[in-house]
Structures are given as C-alpha cells and as structure tokens.
Chain A
Amino acid sequence: MDAGRRDVLKAGSGVSLLALLAAAGWLKPGEAQAADWNKAAFEAKSMEETVKAFGGGTPATSKDITFFSTPDIAENGAVVPIGVASALPKTEQIAILVEKNPNMLAATFDIPAGTEPSLTTRVKMGQSSNVYALVKADGKYYVASKEVKVTLGGCGG
C-alpha cells in the first residue's frame, strides 16, 4: 500500500479547505484552530494549572466520582479504556487527566441537561500513572483518581 500518497492527499485536502475558509473571510490567517478549544488547559502540566485554565479553584476529592471499565493494569498504553461516572448533582463537565503524560489533560466533556454524567473513551498513557477524573458540578470542581499500571508505553516511536 502506498501510505505516503494517502497522507499527502489527506494533508492536501485539509490545506485547501483552510485556504477556502480563509479566502471566504470565515477564518483569519493564524486563527485556523477551533475557536472553542481551551489551549491553556491542554498545555497545562499540572492539575492546578489545568483547573485554573478552566476557571476553577482547588478541586475537592469526591467519592461520588467513580471509574468503570478502567483496567488496573493496561497491557497497551496506546489504548487505555477510561470510564468515568459522576453521582454529583448538576454535573456540567467531566475531564480526564493522566498525571505523567507530557500534558495532563486528555479530554474534557460538557454534559448538557438530559445527558447522563457517565461516559467512556480511550486514552494514551506514556507510563504507569494516576488517572484523574475532574468533575465540575454546580459550579465547583471535584476530583477522583485511580492508578493504572502500563506494561507497554503509548508514546514511544
């Protein structure tokens, strides 16, 4: 298979779309990134920085946040299933953080009314680490953690 050609094609179509958007005046050059992406939070290196980037204070540890479908030992760090459920009333946001990744924040989800505060995704982990679930409920931040051991790292080349 000619994988290189595919990548070139994909890259090409992305660039042309951006160019079109820029030409149409929808995007200013240099502002091509998604507008509602919290760059500061994704670049944060610690829990405090991440919560600060979300606009919150020090999170309180909560027993109402639980991990499910999350392994104690992950054989492959490139694909670690993480399930988080919150029993806190008025849960508005759930974020998944991996302590020892280069940037802690992996994903954040906004939970509108009518959607259950319970979701599953898969993340990469470079090494064994604590995984945090950060939950915003009724305007306040809460956190729970679980240690996941990784036998094969997910960030190697």
Chain B
Amino acid sequence: MADPMRIRANVDASGVTEVKVLMNHEMETGQRKDASGKTIPAWFIQNVTATHGGRTVLSAQWGPAVSKNPFLSFKFKGAQKGDKVQVTWVDNRGDKRTDEATIA
C-alpha cells in the first residue's frame, strides 16, 4: 500500500480555501534504464480528484512528467472551517489512495 499523503487546508477571511497536497509516489517516467540497460517501466499517478462534501473541487490527469512525490496546491470557495477535504489518486498500475484533511 502506498504511503499517505500530507494534506493541509486553510480557509481565509474571504472564504477561499487553499489546499496543499504532497503525495508519496515514485513517478517513474518509463524513459530511464537500470544498471543492466533494461528500461524501468513507467509508474505514475494518472488521476487526482479532490472533493469537498461530495462535490469535486478539482480533478486532474497527470503524465509521467510530474515530479516524484508530487506537490499540488489549489484554491476553492464554499468551504467552512472544520469541513473535510478528500484527495484521491489512482496510478497506472491501478493502485489508489485516498486521504482526508480537516480545513483549519
């Protein structure tokens, strides 16, 4: 099972919530070769979805050019302090992980 994400979410006085996510993933490009010259197969997050109260607030499709241990930050309106934000990723091997953070 993949390692957990670190998620931080803060709502400011104007009602805008800023979400910062740090995921743990190898993000192997499929371009590199190992010591014996064999290509290391691509292994990367393909889909990322963030939801707040069942509503999708951001969805993304990623290629292998996103950095290892990907970072993402975005802002949305309509959340209150104490609400929860969920982030899910799915990689090209079908592995997935969902983590949750409380908005501060």
Which residues of A approach B to under 8 Å, CB–CB?
Answer: 10-11, 13-15, 17-18, 21, 27, 32-34, 36-38, 41-42, 78-81, 98, 101-103, 105-112, 114-116, 118-125, 154-157
Q: Is the CB of B32 within 8 A of A157?
A: yes
In the complex, how many angstroms separate the beta carbon of B43 from the nearest chain A beta carbon?
9
Given A32-B94, A37-B46, A102-B31, A108–B60 Cβ distance below 8 Å? yes
In the complex, how many angstroms separate the beta carbon of B46 from the nearest chain A beta carbon?
5
- Which of B2, B66, B74 is within 8 Å of A124, CB to CB? B66
How far does the alpha carbon of A17 sit from the alpha carbon of B91 in the complex, in Å? 12
How far does the alpha carbon of A3 sit from the alpha carbon of B67 in the complex, in Å? 20
* Residues on the B chain within 8 Å of A118, using CB: 74-75
How far does the alpha carbon of A110 sit from the alpha carbon of B60 in the complex, in Å? 6
How far does the alpha carbon of A36 sit from the alpha carbon of B2 in the complex, in Å? 22
Known: A14-B91, A17-B95, A98-B65. 19 other contacts (CB 8 A): A14-B94, A14-B95, A32-B94, A34-B47, A107-B60, A107-B62, A107-B65, A110-B58, A112-B57, A114-B55, A116-B75, A116-B77, A118-B75, A119-B74, A120-B71, A123-B65, A123-B66, A154-B67, A157-B33
Q: Is the CB of B72 within 8 A of A121?
A: yes
For A97, the closest partner residue in chain B by CB is: B65
- Which of A18, A78, A116 is within 8 Å of B76, CB to CB? A116
- Which of B59, B63, B93, B95 is within 8 Å of A110, CB to CB? B59
Majority SS of interface residues in chain A? mixed
Majority SS of interface residues in chain B? strand
B68 at the A interface (CB under 8 A) = yes
Q: Is the CB of B93 within 8 A of A116?
A: no
